[in-house]
Structure 1
């Protein structure tokens, strides 16, 4: 999971102007993630990791933090892209 975590962390922080966040920080509550950025993340995950994000996967718990996103990728047995 560490490779997934590093990749997700790099993507998120690059879109936040390089701002460093704890892996467990709530991206929604902290105002770092809005609906448009969430869609961008989903599209990126599908391309980067070769996974299909389905409607049932679109829960706050899967996308609440950098760590949650990395865990979601790991749970889908995605290879590191």
Structure 2
């Protein structure tokens, strides 16, 4: 079964790094993070999933892999529905 959140994140990352196949648990961001790409990922997630990522969640670990970004979206969306 397809996960729409995962599919959208994977497609976005794939469009930015087209010649590289990245598994869901492989690093997207590494030690030499391109700051523009990092900001783009935050904006993409906020726009695509209609959420606001709190400053406390803006940690490299939350954007390091597709799995981590999916967990972040799920967590922030769940927090938004509780408030």
The TM-score range, normalised by the shorter chain, is 0.7 to 0.9
TM-score normalised by structure 1 residue count: 0.80
What's the Cα RMSD here?
Answer: 2.1
**Higher RCO (CA < 8 A, seq sep 6+):** 1
Q: Which runs of 5+ in 1 are unaligned?
A: none
Q: Which has the larger radius of gyration?
A: 2
Which structure shows the higher helix fraction? 2
Q: Which runs of at least 4 in structure 1 moved beyond 3 Å after TM superposition?
A: none
TM-score normalised by structure 2 residue count: 0.79
Q: Secondary structure at the match of 1:51?
A: coil
